[in-house]
Structure 1
Amino acid sequence: MMSTRDTMELKEEAIRAQYDTALNLLTGFDHAPRLAKSVEPAAPERSPGIGTRPRFRSTTPGLVTRPTTRPGGVRVVERVEALADGLLSPQQSAVLHALRRGVAIALAMGEAFAQQSALGELKKANLEGRLPDLRRAEFTELLAAEALVSLFSFANATAFLLAPHLGALTVEVGTVDEVLTDNAPLALQGALWELDQDIGLHVTEEPRLATTVAAFCEALMEKVALRAANAPRLDGFINNSWKVEADGLSLSGFKPARAAKGGQITMQFKKPHEVVGNHIAKYQSMKLAKMLMAYDFDRKLNPFAELGGFIFTFMGDGKPGTGKTTLIQMMAGLLNEYCKVAGYPFRYQNFSIDQIDSYQGKSGQNAKAFIDTIIDPGVIGFGTIDDIDQVAGKRGDRQSSAGQQEVTAVFMGAFAGAGTVVRGNCTFGMFSNYPENVDDALRQRAGARFLVDGPQTREDYIDILSLLLGKNHQIPLGDHELFAAQEIKKAVAASFEGHSRPHEDGLIKVWEKVAAEIGPLDTIAKIGRYLKAIQEADERFTGRAIKNITDAVKVRAMDFELPDEWMENPDLFLFKPYDDKLVMIRSLTTPITVDMVIQEINRYADSEFRYADKSDEVAITNMVRDFGRTEEAKRRYLEGKG
């Protein structure tokens, strides 16, 4: 981490002084590639009379250029403008502004590097024809260093500025080949030439523009950082930091800057001890918060996702007032705190009934936008759907609106669809007081179940009373150790142990029947017979249920919390390379046991039987009420006729 005394300001006037030069580079120059090959896509067929350029031409001086007919002409502005249909879109404008600003910052950074090193003096001597022969090698090395500094600064600044305009879309541009180090101007020309090529090749539609440019910048940073690892004369750049105040950008050597894409969160966060009861749900939420922090922004993958112990979706269900909102506030608070320490962007969003719209298709669009916001691989994301039984409609339910049905379809595709990619940077929590009213297939897409049952024991009720009363009283506590019952490890062990046998009546019957037939469930074959017996009792217990159970077992194999000091000091874990994180996590895993498997089967099956029993009972109650209304209506009708 860079200390504040090493940070200098890259002055705004120095950057703006480079705007004309930057715009000229983007407007047009000729470049003959030296290391890469030109790959232009075939021009699409056009109907007769349709021009190849948009009718709109900017009136800004410098933006109007003559088309070039010479091979190797690079016209980035024209390339971006050609994607427009008459007028530049907000994204096209944002990309052009980011590119101009990025090039200007790179040129200003190159000048700052030259002034700080001997390069400035050597450049002047070279122009005046008095460069000593003994210093020519040093001059060449410093020019190459300035080129690397300028290239990395351009890519770093541009990617940072484009970060707020990116969504979940990804584009693979491959490696960057045209990395020239003769001097800074030529290096930037080579980079812009290859960027121009990539835009032409990958931007088949306007929404891909910002993503393609950002992907190119990331690839360029990676290539330049590798070259810089063995290049001389770079100490002045590596050991210092520059701040671009207007953008909130820090240039710290060859390290990518992280754009704060998370935004401000307005929420009253809760501490873990303020969540009374709900031991398993609280424990898994705390673990999940730390799991998310293991995400590697460079690899765009989480070691937990690779090892199979990551919770992408979960469902929290319980009676009203048992603490679902408090659980959300606790987990969001932990993530917000961890991300602040690490400098990671954190994004939280809740999808509520307010986003169900009467216009056809709008509810689905809202749900898709919510999903895309959270799964953005450039942030740590936490998405919640509170009261999902009201938000997402049950298929076949005539009382569900078209908007609710749209939302169900979007969530099902996002949580376990053909295109679902679990990177491990985000998680979705579905919460409900009435999970039996949630569509069966959508509910089964919740990989983990958090039973939010609130305070249970005498100690829990004393703790919650003391917590909610606050400190504005003189009432003695009495014979009680405050919050001792909330000691998480002890409480969780007892809670898991409680699932060694089923809880729901329907599942208890299945358990006892299987145990009487085959004895203790101590082999995979016997456990498999138990699973089949559950399926025979409830046909909704399908292969997806088995996957959810095995995922939960893998989470139990990761039955450890990442040490708090790893969150407090990012250098210990968070900032380590991906492969190092993988090794550190793997060393903490524990073997899977029969007890773990049985407990997770019972936990999951109990929840399904609980939902089924409630669902059937609700349906029967509603039918009885309807029959009663019908009979009363008949009676009143006959009385009226009489």
Structure 2
Amino acid sequence: RLSERIEGLGDGLVSPLQAACLNALRRSLAIALAMGETFSAQSGLAELKKANLEGRVPEPKQGEFGELLQGEALVVLFTFGNALAYLIAPHVGSSTVELGEVEEVLTDNAPLALQGALWELDQDIGALATDDVKLVAVVSAFAEALMKKVQIRAENGARTSVFTAGSWKVEADGLTIAGFKPAKAAKGSMIAMAFKKPHEVVGNHIAKYQSLRLSKMLMAYDFERRLNPFAELGGFIFTFMGDGKPGTGKTTLIQMMAGLLNDYCKVAGYPFRYQNFSIDQIDSYQGKSGQNAKAFIDAVLDPSVIGFGTIDDIDQVAGKRGDRQSSAGQQEVTAVFMGAFAGAGTVVRGNCTFGMFSNYPENVDDALRQRAGARFLVDGPQSKEDYIDILSLLLGKNHSIPVGEHELFAAQEIKKAAAASFEGHSKPHEEGLLKVWDRVSGEIGKLDTLAKMGAYLKAIQQADDRFTGRAIKNITDAVKVRAMDFELPDEWMDQPDLFLFKPYDEKLAMIRGLMTPISVEMVIQEINRYADSEFRYADKSDEVAIQGMVRDFGRTEEAKRRYLEGKG
């Protein structure tokens, strides 16, 4: 019946996607039944089944027999859903379907359980699969929903310890079965995006330089060890925040980084997944926003892909705790992101990075903002050369206007521009921080020892109590990144055998060989760069709050005046 339903979607000939679904279903059934036999043999159910056929199951064993039959049904159902989700994953496109809960979860015995599941899948395909793409989406969604329902049932004391304690690998498919834990197939996502080349990102020198380096860092990830040498050495940027005025190039920076990663992954043959979390994923239904945020995080964290996750306009997406204007959905998102970026269970493997972008970072919850390990000030074009370059770039080529005395894009040469930008942070930029710097320098002289730098950090903390231990960790992480102030050669990306495909320990040794010692200048520049950003946010945040109060007081005064006039 089910095969007829699937074959009936076309014009008589079975399409490649229909064939893929049928093969996945048959293979999943075979794996599930084999897993059922294994469970039966290891749990003692096989002997009880034999005794039952002969009508000699002892009275004390009747209860155990029923429980084990139920356990086998759950094991077979979950394995069927797990294998089906895994095998169909490479064929899943961007189309999605909304399925409710799976209802036909029968646990009398394994064959009946599978019949019930196949019957319900048949009904779903009949109702929702209007074409081949929808067919794949329905099969994938059903497999996920089935696993979720069986997991809940299994938590209610089912006799499945043999299954949960073991692990099995189906070599032919590369599928690992480890209890009631879903296996994830390596699946990249097709990206529809206008990529940008580095020279097309005008200005933003430090942000551009760090994005380029971070893209290459991600490519050092070792899929066998499931770890990145940069994460082990302490110079990996897991989260970063890009802030700047509207129109300064935050979206262009995202397009550049996604484009670089996409190209590098194509050459290496790695699956690449880009995900963006935006305001349209905030849902009025209670708990749904948090679920959407968790799904976004899990998709990017998947250790079987190179992941890049962006949260554009994070000030609108994630709410400030305690802010009456933040919706429940925004508060849920904040809680999920805080737990994912620096929670008790956070594991940084180095296969992915998260970028938070905002025009108004002062509106982001302080604790969430401080979970951004690196700060990219996206300030757009600054110099005369930058403005000439951006004018030329945006005009395009449909003109014959001479360039004049200017070498196009020479100012956008990343390494030279970044070095000058870093040098600019030898002294603070923000007025509040500059006062602290001048006072501390006047009292203890040049900051050239750890003790003096520690005194400077304490003085910053006294000026802004939001400058905590996490801020110091973010600064030292940024310093470690600077200690790796080298760019992995382009040849290593173009010819994967030179670096990417080498064993983990060899990659680690190659990176160690390129590292430079940490200097006083590096530490001072990174303290100032990070503290500048915090003072910039704090000043803006305070100013916004003051302006709001002034408006409220003005309204109160005006209301009072009109009220008294009305009475008089």
Q: Is TM more than 0.5 here?
A: yes
1:343 maps onto 2:269 in alignment: yes
Contact 1:351–1:385 under 8 Å retained in 2? yes
2:66 to 51, 54, 63: 51
* 1:180-213 deviation per Cα after TM superposition (whole angstroms, max 9, x unaligned): xxxxxxxxxxxxxxxxxxx964538xxxx9x975
- Range moving further from structure 2, 416-425 or 625-634: 625-634
How many aligned residue pairs are there?
463
- 1:450 maps to which residue? 376
Cα separation, 2, equivalents of 1:48 and 1:25: 24
Cα separation, 2, equivalents of 1:361 and 1:29: 35
User: In the TM superposition, what is the alpha-carbon distance from 1:39 to its structure 2 partner?
Assistant: 8.6
2:164 to 160, 185, 203: 203
1:544 maps onto 2:470 in alignment: yes
Contact 2:206–2:376 under 8 Å retained in 1? yes
Cα separation, 2, equivalents of 1:416 and 1:511: 30
Structure 2, unpaired ranges of 5+: 1-18, 49-59, 89-139, 148-159, 177-183
Quick one: which amino acid aligns to residue 501 of structure 2?
F
SS of residue paired to 1:314: strand
User: What are the residue-to-residue correspondences of 1:185-264 with 2, within 5 Å?
Assistant: 201=162, 203=164, 213=169, 261-264=187-190
Cα separation, 2, equivalents of 1:479 and 1:321: 27
- 2:74 maps to which residue? 82
Quick one: which amino acid aligns to residue 439 of structure 1?
D
The 1:201–1:382 alpha-carbon spacing in structure 2 relative to 1, beyond 3 Å, is: farther
Which structure has the bigger radius of gyration?
A: 1
Quick one: which amino acid aligns to residue 74 of structure 2?
A
* 1:228-282 deviation per Cα after TM superposition (whole angstroms, max 9, x unaligned): xxxxxxxxxxxxxxxxxxxxxxxxxxxxxx9650121111111100000000000
2:192 to 257, 266, 287: 266
* 1:573-620 deviation per Cα after TM superposition (whole angstroms, max 9, x unaligned): 111100110011110000000000000000000000111111111111
SS of residue paired to 2:471: helix
Cα separation, 2, equivalents of 1:96 and 1:319: 47
User: What are the residue-to-residue correspondences of 1:384-423 with 2, within 5 Å?
Assistant: 384-423=310-349
Cα separation, 2, equivalents of 1:312 and 1:29: 41
1:617 maps onto 2:543 in alignment: yes
2:485 to 553, 556, 559: 559
Cα separation, 2, equivalents of 1:25 and 1:519: 72
User: In the TM superposition, what is the alpha-carbon distance from 1:638 to its structure 2 partner?
Assistant: 2.5
TM-score normalised to structure 1 length: 0.66
Structure 1, unpaired ranges of 5+: 1-11, 32-36, 56-77, 101-161, 170-198, 221-257
Cα separation, 1, equivalents of 2:171 and 2:322: 43
2:401 to 465, 468, 475: 475
The 1:638–1:476 alpha-carbon spacing in structure 2 relative to 1, beyond 3 Å, is: same
Contact 2:86–2:185 under 8 Å retained in 1? no
- 1:92 maps to which residue? 80
User: In the TM superposition, what is the alpha-carbon distance from 1:99 to its structure 2 partner?
Assistant: 8.7
* 1:459-509 deviation per Cα after TM superposition (whole angstroms, max 9, x unaligned): 000000000000011111111100011111110010000000000111011
Quick one: which amino acid aligns to residue 328 of structure 2?
A
The 1:351–1:30 alpha-carbon spacing in structure 2 relative to 1, beyond 3 Å, is: closer
- 2:233 maps to which residue? 307
User: In the TM superposition, what is the alpha-carbon distance from 1:49 to its structure 2 partner?
Assistant: 10
- 1:572 maps to which residue? 498
SS of residue paired to 1:478: coil
Quick one: which amino acid aligns to residue 385 of structure 2?
E
Cα separation, 2, equivalents of 1:430 and 1:24: 42
Contact 1:346–1:381 under 8 Å retained in 2? yes
The 1:518–1:636 alpha-carbon spacing in structure 2 relative to 1, beyond 3 Å, is: same
SS of residue paired to 1:297: coil
- 2:363 maps to which residue? 437
User: What are the residue-to-residue correspondences of 1:246-395 with 2, within 5 Å?
Assistant: 261-395=187-321
Contact 2:217–2:230 under 8 Å retained in 1? yes
User: In the TM superposition, what is the alpha-carbon distance from 1:640 to its structure 2 partner?
Assistant: 2.8
Cα separation, 2, equivalents of 1:305 and 1:335: 18
Contact 1:552–1:600 under 8 Å retained in 2? yes
- 2:434 maps to which residue? 508
RMSD: 3.8
SS of residue paired to 2:510: helix
Cα separation, 2, equivalents of 1:453 and 1:425: 28
Higher fraction of helix: 2
Quick one: which amino acid aligns to residue 83 of structure 2?
V
The 1:29–1:46 alpha-carbon spacing in structure 2 relative to 1, beyond 3 Å, is: closer
Contact 2:217–2:236 under 8 Å retained in 1? yes
Cα separation, 1, equivalents of 2:199 and 2:389: 10
Cα separation, 2, equivalents of 1:213 and 1:512: 64
Quick one: which amino acid aligns to residue 80 of structure 2?
Q
Cα separation, 1, equivalents of 2:162 and 2:327: 43
SS of residue paired to 2:240: strand
SS of residue paired to 1:394: coil
Cα separation, 2, equivalents of 1:279 and 1:346: 26
- 1:181 maps to which residue? none
TM-score normalised to structure 2 length: 0.74
The 1:597–1:588 alpha-carbon spacing in structure 2 relative to 1, beyond 3 Å, is: same
SS of residue paired to 2:66: coil
